[in-house]
Amino acid sequence: MRSTYATINLKYLKENYLNIKKKVKNVKIMPVVKANAYGHGVEKTVKALNSLPNKPEYYAVALVEEGIELRKCEVHQPILIFEPIDKNQVNSIFKYNLIPTVFSNEHISLLKNNGKNDGMRIHIKVNTGMNRLGISFKDAYEFIKIINEDESFIIDGIYTHFATSDEKDKSFANLQLKRFKDLLAELKKNNINYGLAHAANSGAILDMPDSYFDIVRPGISLYGYYPSGETSESISLKPVMSIITKVDSVNRIEAGETVSYGRKFTANKITNIISVSMGYADGYERNLTNKTKAIINGKFYNQVGTVTMDRIMFNVNKDEIKIGDEVILLGEKNNIRFNAWDWARVLNTIPYEITCGISQRVPRLYIN
């Protein structure tokens, strides 16, 4: 195996899930495992979660292809597909017993024209303000009423998605929640079945208990991160992914010498430069150049020189660092930690992008 690898701590994954379960109590859980379980490896992720006594009731992914992959991983729970359906995917939806999201007459026509959809389960997405996908909350009642009267379909669920549940100011999230609640009340008043209602993503699970409804959809929290620095930390979470490598070379340079492409780092004294096998092709972005650190032998060292496709360098001064020493790029050891938030702050992004961006060149090593 390559000297650089990602460890995926399945024990932490299960602890995060159980802590979420403790928070939401009797509400069902639909883990979001799209994008290869946010870069953690979908097969091992779902097998770990399904090994629990209180295993998830549903799973959610973005793409039909991801749903098929879950079925091939022997996932038997209902699988919700978030993304709009395409005519070329309809047969696969039926074949693999997937639940499509619908929010337009075109979606309904696609499914009906297939001719195999007697009693097909669907979830309806309602746009309450995200303005990305979904039928407008203003038009949703009539749309759902018509579908409810069509015996070709079973409305298994109705859902919305928050735009700002991870922000300190919850005013817009609460407006979205009110719009969704008002729609549910109208449907209920008129005895229109809508199945399971769900709205809560990770931010809402942490801070908006009124949004739990029948089922919640944890994403990044499952993998050990709070969705922003503005949510509460009302659930104990542990990052599941670490990235470990080793020192491949130690090179002493003189004062005034430079490191890597473009000579972005100049030594101001005699110093040792170590290199490790990790680069932007692995997900260590070039914009991290000269702005991040690693943990070596219980101490932080600065990354120096332009990040290259396959390799990065660190300034270890004159410390006794030798070839083969462990280098922690993301992770924790002896209460010293450096995690995806540390990269994310430099890149002005979020941990989601960091973990999803660790490429398949980096082997995953699973530990329990």
User: How does DSSP classify residue 32?
Assistant: B
Active site residue 261: yes
CA distance 66 to 71: 9
Contact indicator for 243, 323 with CB cutoff of 8 Å: no
132-141, long-range: CB < 8 A, 24+ apart: 132/161, 133/84, 133/101, 133/103, 133/161, 134/103, 134/160, 134/161, 135/103, 135/104, 137/179, 137/180, 137/182, 137/183, 140/183, 141/183, 141/186, 141/187
Q: 190 — phi, psi (to 5°)? A: -100, 20
Structure tokens at 197: 């209602």
One of 23, 34, 125, 170 is an active-site residue; which one?
Answer: 34
CA distance 217 to 30: 5
Active site residue 366: no
Q: Please choose, from the candidates 153, 135, 143, the residue with its C-alpha nearest in 3D space to the C-alpha of residue 94.
A: 153
Could you tell me where the DSSP H helices lie in 25-82? 34-38, 42-50, 64-72
Angle between helices 140-148 and 171-189 (to 10 degrees): 40
One of 261, 269, 299, 318 is an active-site residue; which one?
Answer: 261
Q: Please choose, from the candidates 35, 51, 39, 52, the residue with its C-alpha nearest in 3D space to the C-alpha of residue 8.
A: 39
Q: 125-151 b/e with 16+ CB inside 10 Å = b? A: bbbbbbeeebbebeebbebbeebbeee
- In one-letter notation, the amino acid at residue 210 is D
Q: 288 — phi, psi (to 5°)? A: -80, -5
User: How does DSSP classify residue 187?
Assistant: H
Q: Any idea which residues carry the catalytic annotation?
A: 34, 261
